[in-house]
Structure 1
Amino acid sequence: MIYLDYQATTPLAPEAFEAMVPLLRDHFGNPHSTHRAGRQAAAQVELARDRIGAAMGLPPGQIIFTSGATEALNIAISGMAQGAPPGRRRIVTLATEHAAVRDTVLALEGRGFEPVLLPVRRDGLVDLDIARLAITPDTALVTAMLVNNEIGVIQPVDALCHLARAAGARFLCDAVQGFGRAALPQEADAVAISAHKIHGPKGVGALWLRNGLTLPPLLHGGGQEGGLRSGTLSPALCAGFGVAADLMQRRREADAHHVEELWQKALKLFEGWAVNGSLEQRYRGNVSLRRDGVDGARLLSDCRDIAFSLGSACASGSGRPSHVLQAIGLSDKEARGSVRIGFGRYTSVGELEDAAGAITQAAERQLHVANGAHET
């Protein structure tokens, strides 16, 4: 199988795997216990926390381990909404946000908040003039995704953060797809990341909180993670996350160069296909493509030895059209003809060439059959 779905998840780095094994097999103490086995496990958790903090490159703050980015985003959104002054009931986000943000923001309407979903342009980017009008003095929170998971565009999060601060609102960045691939907003109040998007293990994420920001807990229990997120941490998952973050930081330039080479190759291999989203303001490892007359779902079925997708893995089984593709103005037909190719560190040029050939041939067969039926 050729794996081209890096936005859904990335292959686990061998270095991360090797760091996890001893903590699963030998050093299995509960990191919240006070005996030696517990202290040994806790030391590995704190080492991972330090490594992740260094890789993020943000001002001093807390790093709270979570079960993943969805939990981190829910903690931040619900917590900052709950802690907002009485006069601030507006929550501003983008129409193209991941469901973990979008659905959480919309759910807050039932608690007396006013969700505002900002539209995006055809290139997938937010119009800052519209954002400026929407972010008013009664805004509690502005939240935006750094790199869109479906179409790869890089939003102007620094500008959105500045608008939020000018209005006295908090700013949360969903950096799940952007961590290590685009600059994190230095003035943000909170940033959410996930291990399995950077060649770490699934089942662990983190929420960075600016020093001085306190949130009410979403989960109650043993009071772990400073009382914000109760539950026993997995030292193995944390260690794998930490090593993956450290490796990402050290390989940042090499990985970016490799992805750029693959991006340029993909544009040539998929000549005749249109790219969804901005060609300039994007992460090059995400290639969202469409072709008139092609059915993306049939392409997936016809190319079973290639792992690629129609859009977000989290919504792939919903049967609903992509809200991201709808938000950038694609027709239902254009959305149906869209697929997402994702590559990265472990993708070879040869794999991309073979996959592109198979996908293009399958598309040509579809078009041939459709044209024949039309002529008949």
Structure 2
Amino acid sequence: MKTIYLDHAASTPVHPEVAEAMVTVMREQYGNASSIHAYGRAAKRLVNGSRDRLAALVGCRPDELVFTSGGTESDNLALFGAAEARKDRGRHIITTAIEHHAVLHACGRLEKQGYEVTYLPVDRQGQVHPEQVREAIRPDTILISVMYANNEVGTIQPIEEIGALAAEKGIVFHVDAVQALGALEIRLGELPVDLMSFSAHKINGPQGVGALYVSRELVIEPILFGGLQERKRRAGTENMAGIAGFAKAAELAAQQLPGRAARDEELRRIFLDALETEVGAGRFHVNGHPTRRLAHIVNVSFPECDTETMLMNLDMEGIAVASGSACSSGSLEPSHVLEAMNLPINFLNSAIRFSFGLGNTTEEMKLTAEKVGTILNRLRKRR
């Protein structure tokens, strides 16, 4: 049976050139970058060289990048690190209701530690408006965290406008850019952002490695303690192979960015056109912003079929997709993102996220739409 992987928003296949770079490191580099002998110095050069390459690609200074174990740690370091460093100035934090759980659960923990968090709503297209942020700012606001692009519906947030508001008030601004990296051009030197989170496995790099941009003017407290690595901001022996793979993946993503945008738009158009043919224009709804969005994430509701049924049927057809729902005790709970968008209940309970990238073809888009149509027709006949 032919299999089709359409869950790139969750994790992407490792690019062959990335895998090759990582294998070379694992075979040839085994020193500890904190050691002073020749093996340690070689390891240090590899880590710093990778940092230099990644920094050049996102437009920041190398010493402003902290390597982490991935997006979740980067988000946690940003929130806990910034909050702890500024707790004497205030204890109010602003975020949105559609953030990744790495941010939302960190905010929940901060609330238990005595901080107050404002969770801003979004509109029906998944966007937060800068004026909402302005109205939420208080004299004791110390941190604002808003994602660059949503991982479930792909909606892009107005981070430049929000960042300008934060800078005006002297508030630290964190952006979770895990989904945006590789899909949007990022030039940190031109953005009003103090902290930005990245992860390698969303750009055809390895799982288990990421980075946090920390503006050189900003001081954050570490959340891991031990060694003095990463300029005392993140203790722990560096994941050399992962870091080298991350840098290589970022280079490839930057080279492919202009062509990727056009390619993603083409795959999206072909998929949605095929759905109209196979399912019917009035029988599905695309969730998210129509233009301010990542092209490779297509969140679609099929009101005639609940999310779990569609997921299982597509899986049996060899097609891997996802929902934004959380699984609890064997059943799916509605997506917190779609709930925050106030979608009708039939859209909320029937949403599927299709996300594509390296290796996907136009034929796969058409075949997936065909399979969706077959599943829905089969369900209709049972009624």
Q: Which band: TM-score by shorter chain?
A: over 0.9
Kindly report which structure 2 residues correspond to 1:307-318, keeping only aligned pairs within 5 A, or say none: 307-311=320-324, 315-316=326-327
Q: 1:116 aligns with which of 110, 114, 118?
A: 118
C-alpha distance in 1, partners of 2:311/2:263? Answer: 26
- SS at structure 1 position matched to 2:18: helix
1:257-309, Cα deviation, whole Å (9 max, x unpaired): 11111111122022222111111110000000002221121111112200101
Partner of 1:335: 348
Q: 1:195 aligns with which of 193, 200, 204?
A: 200
CA offset at residue 211 of structure 1?
0.7
CA offset at residue 316 of structure 1?
4.5
Structure 1 position 52 matched with structure 2 position 61: no
CA offset at residue 64 of structure 1?
0.5
Partner of 2:175: 173
- Are 1:258 and 1:345, in contact at CA under 8 Å, matched by a contact in 2? no
C-alpha distance in 2, partners of 1:117/1:281? Answer: 22
- Are 2:5 and 2:320, in contact at CA under 8 Å, matched by a contact in 1? yes
- SS at structure 2 position matched to 1:161: helix
Q: 2:101 aligns with which of 99, 102, 109?
A: 99
1:47-83, Cα deviation, whole Å (9 max, x unpaired): 2111211121246751111111101111110111111
- SS at structure 2 position matched to 1:141: strand
- SS at structure 1 position matched to 2:41: helix
Distance 1:30 1:60, change over 3 A: closer
C-alpha distance in 1, partners of 2:275/2:88? Answer: 52
Moved over 6 A (4+): none
1:114-152, Cα deviation, whole Å (9 max, x unpaired): 100000000110122222100233210001110100010
- Are 1:23 and 1:41, in contact at CA under 8 Å, matched by a contact in 2? no
Q: 2:338 aligns with which of 325, 332, 344?
A: 325
- SS at structure 1 position matched to 2:9: coil
- Are 2:196 and 2:212, in contact at CA under 8 Å, matched by a contact in 1? yes
Q: 2:128 aligns with which of 126, 129, 133?
A: 126
Structure 1 position 281 matched with structure 2 position 292: yes
C-alpha distance in 1, partners of 2:274/2:287? Answer: 16
Distance 1:210 1:87, change over 3 A: closer
Partner of 2:30: 28
Q: 1:295 aligns with which of 276, 297, 306?
A: 306
C-alpha distance in 1, partners of 2:240/2:263? Answer: 31
Partner of 2:374: 361
CA offset at residue 165 of structure 1?
1.3
- Are 1:136 and 1:167, in contact at CA under 8 Å, matched by a contact in 2? no
CA offset at residue 354 of structure 1?
1.2
CA offset at residue 365 of structure 1?
1.7
Q: Which runs of 5+ in 1 are unaligned?
A: none
1:61-113, Cα deviation, whole Å (9 max, x unpaired): 51111111101111110111111153422100010000000111122112221
Distance 1:59 1:65, change over 3 A: closer
Q: CA RMSD for the aligned pairs?
A: 1.6
Q: Which runs of 5+ in 2 are unaligned?
A: none
Partner of 1:270: 275
Q: 2:232 aligns with which of 224, 227, 234?
A: 227
C-alpha distance in 1, partners of 2:323/2:305? Answer: 12
C-alpha distance in 2, partners of 1:352/1:269? Answer: 8
- More divergent stretch after superposition (355-364 vs 151-160): 355-364
Letter in 1 for 2:273: K
- SS at structure 2 position matched to 1:251: helix
- SS at structure 2 position matched to 1:65: strand
Partner of 1:41: 43
Partner of 2:360: 347
- SS at structure 2 position matched to 1:244: helix
CA offset at residue 225 of structure 1?
0.9
- SS at structure 2 position matched to 1:216: coil
Identity of aligned residues (%): 39
Letter in 2 for 1:232: T
- More divergent stretch after superposition (83-92 vs 191-200): 83-92
Q: 1:143 aligns with which of 141, 145, 152?
A: 145
Q: 1:237 aligns with which of 238, 242, 248?
A: 242
- Are 2:324 and 2:334, in contact at CA under 8 Å, matched by a contact in 1? no
Letter in 1 for 2:362: V
- Are 1:60 and 1:211, in contact at CA under 8 Å, matched by a contact in 2? no
- More divergent stretch after superposition (260-269 vs 113-122): 260-269
1:185-228, Cα deviation, whole Å (9 max, x unpaired): 61100100000001100000000111121211101001211111
Partner of 2:253: 248
TM-score by length of 2: 0.92
C-alpha distance in 2, partners of 1:18/1:60? Answer: 24
- Are 1:192 and 1:207, in contact at CA under 8 Å, matched by a contact in 2? yes
- SS at structure 2 position matched to 1:283: coil
- Are 2:172 and 2:194, in contact at CA under 8 Å, matched by a contact in 1? yes
- Are 2:51 and 2:62, in contact at CA under 8 Å, matched by a contact in 1? no
C-alpha distance in 2, partners of 1:116/1:336? Answer: 27
C-alpha distance in 2, partners of 1:87/1:66? Answer: 27
C-alpha distance in 2, partners of 1:90/1:37? Answer: 46
Letter in 1 for 2:346: K
1:315-353, Cα deviation, whole Å (9 max, x unpaired): 456743210010001244322211000011321111111
